[in-house]
Amino acid sequence: MESETNLIEELIEKTVEYGKSSLELAKLKALDKISDVVSSLLAHSVVIVILFALMLFLNLGIALWIGKILGEIYFGFFAVAGFYCIAAIFTYFFMHKWIKKQVGNAIIKQVLK
């Protein structure tokens, strides 16, 4: 009877240790995924900021150049703004679902990697 009690206690101890180990493993896996996603987002954010600065100065240059051609500087800025208005409308009506799908797939792929 005492050996059965010892076996049951040993089984309970091993089960508790297994549960603790499984919980610790789940925490470590979650931490790995979170750190991977955050580091990827940070790296992409740096690239996006650099591209934003590039586009800002490129657009300023184009607006000034078009304005010089048209005779008034502000005409160039209106032309660039009109281009972006048309691009935004096109993106909203024709590419919104595609962009949403691509971003969602990229996030899911990153998390499940």
pLDDT category of residue 31 using cuts at 50, 70 and 90: confident
pLDDT (0 to 100) of residue 55 = 95
Nearest to 62 by CA among 79, 37, 84: 79
pLDDT (0 to 100) of residue 98 = 84
- The secondary structure of the chain, three-state, reads CHHHHHHHHHHHHHHHHHHHHHHHHHHHHHHHHHHHHHHHHHHHHHHHHHHHHHHHHHHHHHHHHHHHHHCCHHHHHHHHHHHHHHHHHHHHHHHHHHHHHHHHHHHHHHHHC
Q: How far apart are CA 48 and CA 54, in angstroms?
A: 10
Query: Domain ranges in the chain?
Result: 2-112
pLDDT (0 to 100) of residue 2 = 67
pLDDT per residue as tens digits for the range 58-98: 999 999 999 999 999 999 999 999 999 999 999 888 887 88
pLDDT (0 to 100) of residue 42 = 85
pLDDT per residue as tens digits for the range 34-49: 888 888 888 888 999 9
Regarding predicted confidence, which is higher, 101 or 75?
A: 75
Question: Which residue in this structure is represented by tokens 């800025």?
Answer: 77
Residue 80 burial (CB count, 10 A) = 20
For the ranges 16-25, 45-54, 75-84, 104-113, which has the lowest average pLDDT?
Answer: 104-113
pLDDT (0 to 100) of residue 71 = 93
CA-atom Rg of the chain in angstroms: 29
